[in-house]
Chains A and B, each alone.
Chain A
Amino acid sequence: MLEEYGQILIATAIAWILFVTIDVFWRLPEKGGVSGADAIGSAIAKHGGDQHGGWMIGNIVSSPDASAGTLLAACGFFVAGIPGGIAAAALVYAGNRICHDSGYAGTSGALIATFVIAGCMQIGFGASDFIVGTVIAILTIQGISHPHASRILGRLWRWRA
């Protein structure tokens, strides 16, 4: 039982690093991709957050990004192994186009996550650890404190830019 909690914590850390890296690589914090993402970023900045981090939070809300890709890849892997992860990537690609997002953060996130999860399965992790790990990781960014999360994301963005 304790072992499963430890696995979930490690899976959370892996998922967090994975999708934040991919999102920052695809320049999500650069600007609000759609007008809604822009407005959410400005609202977070108005409440004491960082503008670039706010835009990234807005972009995550407005379109399936790498975090959604990681979650759906973990779900796909849980039900059908590697083919399930690739099917999830195809579904995220369709979702990106439906949401007027021309980027590839979600699709590449799902594909990379599929292979990361496949690797972690070899050392004893379960795909369900990654489903709950991604949910906890997104909770730390979007669900606890927007000003603090946006400042961390803004710092990562300035480091990359």
Chain B
Amino acid sequence: MESLIAASICLIIAVYCAIRAVLERETLLKLPFVNVMNFGIAGLIVLILPHPLTLVAAAAYFVGSTLEANAIASAYARREQP
């Protein structure tokens, strides 16, 4: 691992935002915290394992989780306004 400081900051931010997401009461407002957590994890994947294929893994993880957040938010919006 080349940069221990960078990796630990990413990890701390991801854990902090995971806790904030659990504590937040409104579902739609949880999603921005989950988004920051995804940023932290995607950065951490690459920092822990520097290899070209890891970039694909991080991008796949990030795009997949963004798509999930998109799906949750739009399903929730449709439920609130029938």
Contacts and interface: CB of A to CB of B under 8 A. Distances in A.
Interface of A: 1, 4-5, 8, 34-40, 43-44, 47, 57-58, 60-64, 67-68, 71-72, 74-76, 78-80, 84, 87-88, 91-92, 94-95, 98-100, 126, 128-129, 131-132, 134-136, 138-139, 142-143, 146
Nearest to A96: B63
Interface residues of B, number: 47
Contact of B13 (A1, A38, A72, A143): A143
Contacts of A87: 52, 55
Contacts, number: 169
A131 B43 contact: yes
Contacts of A80: 52, 55
A40 B43 CA distance: 25
Interface in B2-32: 2-3, 5-6, 9-10, 13, 16-17, 20, 26, 28-29, 31-32
A91 B63 CA distance: 9
A57 to B, nearest CB: 6
A4 B20 CA distance: 28
A47 B47 CA distance: 36
Interface of B: 2-3, 5-6, 9-10, 13, 16-17, 20, 26, 28-29, 31-33, 35-36, 39-40, 42-43, 46-47, 50-52, 54-56, 58-59, 62-63, 66-67, 69-78, 80
B77 A47 contact: no
A91 B32 contact: no
B4 to A, nearest CB: 10
Contacts of A100: 70
B77 A135 contact: no
Contacts of A74: 43
Contacts of A5: 5
Given A64-B63, A129-B6, A135-B39, 5 more contacts: A38-B77, A39-B77, A92-B59, A139-B16, A143-B36
